[in-house]
Amino acid sequence: MGYLYLFLAASLWGLIGPVSRLAFGEGLSPLLVAFFRAGIAWVLFALHALYLRQVRVRAQDLPALLLFGVVGVALFYGAYQLAVGYGGAALASVLLYTAPAWVALLSRLILKEPLDSLSLLSVALTLLGVGLMGLGGGSQVRALLPALLFGLLSGLTYALYYIFGKLYLPRYATPTLFLYALPVGALGLLPFVQFVPLSPKALYALLFLGVFSTYGAYLAYYAGLRRLPATRASVLATLEPVVANLFAFLLFREVLSPLGYLGAALVLLAVLLAVRR
């Protein structure tokens, strides 16, 4: 079941870039989309935590939860949306998946998880695939350097989700964690957003991002992470850029070069190796 949960989460996350581009087309800025995504998801997590009657956290854990809100929500959401805005959904989703390399390193240093040969091969194939897809570029790249910088920053901050989940999931339910982290992240983004009227299309896009690609995806992801090691989970979730590339092509005709599609195939191979392991 852990694999199924992670495949569902990766698919929902893979839709973030294409759906965000729909919102951008309605006049919303990347950081405004990130703000609404965090705010909508927080309402659902708050209701969920209240329903479970699990809203309290230990005082000594509160600083870590608040710091995660700043780095794992404000910085991560903002960087990823900016990467989509500058480089398109396909390229941004690929750069996001430098995360497995960070996860492997941090899992070894912090969680003391062993790295066997198959795990290392999966990570190596993932990074090679990401590199090829990055070299392939994308047809919607507006500014390559900002796209690369924000994409790599999103990968680094995304890696913290695996470590944070392994450290705090044994203590708290997923809704409890995001009850505290998401409003901090939304407030961190607030000074940088400029509100505009929301068209029906923009509203539908924001609701999808908040309800399905954030609330639903996190529930599925952390349900899977409870059942699998962090490094393996990070590799399995690399289905996300494949999904993102597919929908970016279907909706916006974004394409990568042949090198990019070879990279996508290597990512899929890494996922299959992780499942077999």
Domain ranges of the chain: 2-276
How many other CB atoms are found less than 10 A from the CB of residue 166?
20
Q: What is the pLDDT of residue 204?
A: 97
Q: Hey, what's the torsion of the CAs at 252, 253, 256, 261, to 10 degrees?
A: 110
What are the tokens at 38?
């965090």
DSSP-derived letter for residue 277 is -
Q: What is the pLDDT of residue 78?
A: 96
What is the rounded average pLDDT for all residues in the chain? 84
The tens digit of pLDDT for each residue in 150-174 reads 988 998 898 887 777 777 767 888 8
Give the percent of the chain with pLDDT over 70: 88
Judged against a pLDDT cut of 80, whether residue 225 lies above it is answered with: no
Q: What is the pLDDT of residue 155?
A: 85
Judged against a pLDDT cut of 90, whether residue 140 lies above it is answered with: no
Lowest mean pLDDT among 105-114, 121-130, 149-158, 240-249: 105-114
Judged against a pLDDT cut of 60, whether residue 139 lies above it is answered with: no
Residue with the bigger pLDDT between 19 and 253: it is 19
Phi, psi of 237 (to 5 degrees): -70, -5
Q: What is the pLDDT of residue 275?
A: 57
The tens digit of pLDDT for each residue in 27-80 reads 999 999 999 999 999 999 999 999 999 899 998 989 988 999 999 999 999 999
DSSP 19-87: HHHHHHTTT--HHHHHHHHHHHHHHHHHHHHHHHT-----GGGHHHHHHHIIIIIIIHHHHHHHHHHHH
